């Protein structure tokens, strides 16, 4: 069972530890070890070359080279501008699309979902303090709801979630080839 299966309102799920499925937002500690193990199994079967031990592992996603900075199950931590600590546990592989350039000057960030043949790309126009920050590309998700829920599972607030743009994978690849090396902004003005 995947995250979005019980986010649709499955009450009493064996995968939830403390809240019913209608309680939003979910944070990583709300998911049972059984759910985490199921996620790991699905991703390992889908992407057999993805290793938890590799801090920067490359995978091929339908012709795009993705550098995985944070494999599923890994944790990233740091300090907020106010000095308080933050920590994110990854439920989906997270990294960047090689040989691209996002508006932040880094390569375009992406999360990798469980369907390696999905022809859908969902671009989340992330916000910080209510203003556009950068794009997070959701690859391998079958629909917007699954992509959104996967994104939200990695944050303790919904405030970062901005508008979501759908793009067919073939069009996304064309945009990357045409503009992806010049500071691509995947957000419509």
33-65: per-residue pLDDT in tens? Answer: 665 566 566 656 666 655 554 445 788 899 999
- R_g of the chain, CA atoms, integer Å: 16
- 1 within some domain: no
Which two structure tokens, joined as six digits, stand for 37? 């193990």
Domains held by the chain: number? 1
- 67 within some domain: yes
Q: Measured between alpha carbons, how far is residue 122 from residues 69, 111, 140, 189 in Å?
A: 20, 10, 9, 17
- The model carries a pTM of 0.69
With beta carbons less than 8 A apart as the criterion, state whether 66 and 96 touch.
Answer: yes
**Number of helical H runs and strand E runs in the chain:** 4, 9
**Whole-number pLDDT of residue 117:** 92
- 149 within some domain: yes
Percent of the chain whose predicted confidence (pLDDT) is above 90: 38
Report pLDDT digits (tens) over 103-134. 888 899 999 999 999 999 999 999 988 899 89
pLDDT category at 189 given cuts 50, 70, 90 is: very low
**Whole-number pLDDT of residue 49:** 59
- 113 within some domain: yes
Q: Please report the DSSP string for 86-141 in residue order.
A: EEEE-SS-EEEETT--BTTSSPEEEEE-S-TT--EEEEEEEEETTEEEEEEEEES-
Which two structure tokens, joined as six digits, stand for 86? 């933050």
- 124 within some domain: yes
**Whole-number pLDDT of residue 158:** 87
Segments forming the whole domain that contains residue 151: 52-179
Mean pLDDT of 161-182: 86
- Residue 138 bridge partners (DSSP): 111, 122
- 126 within some domain: yes
Q: In this structure, is the dihedral angle defined by the CA atoms of residues 164, 187, 100 and 77, taken in order, positive or negative?
A: negative
- 7 within some domain: no
- 21 within some domain: no
């Amino acid at each position: 069972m995947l995250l979005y299966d019980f986010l649709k309102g499955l009450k009493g799920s064996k995968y939830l530890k403390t809240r019913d499925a209608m309680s939003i937002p979910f944070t990583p500690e709300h998911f049972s070890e059984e759910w985490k193990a199921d996620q790991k199994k699905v991703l390992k079967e889908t992407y057999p070359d993805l290793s938890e031990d590799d801090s920067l592992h490359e995978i091929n996603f339908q012709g795009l080279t993705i550098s995985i900075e944070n494999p599923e199950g890994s944790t990233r931590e740091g300090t907020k501008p106010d000095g308080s600590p933050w920590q994110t546990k990854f439920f989906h592989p997270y990294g960047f699309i090689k040989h691209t350039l996002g508006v932040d000057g880094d390569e375009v960030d992406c999360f990798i979902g469980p369907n390696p043949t999905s022809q859908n790309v969902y671009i989340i126009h992330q916000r910080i303090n209510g203003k556009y920050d950068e794009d997070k590309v959701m690859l391998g998700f079958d629909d917007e709801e699954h992509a959104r829920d996967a994104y939200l599972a990695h944050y303790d607030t919904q405030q970062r979630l901005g508008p979501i743009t759908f793009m067919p994978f073939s069009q996304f690849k064309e945009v990357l080839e045409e503009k992806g090396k010049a500071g691509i902004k995947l957000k419509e003005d």
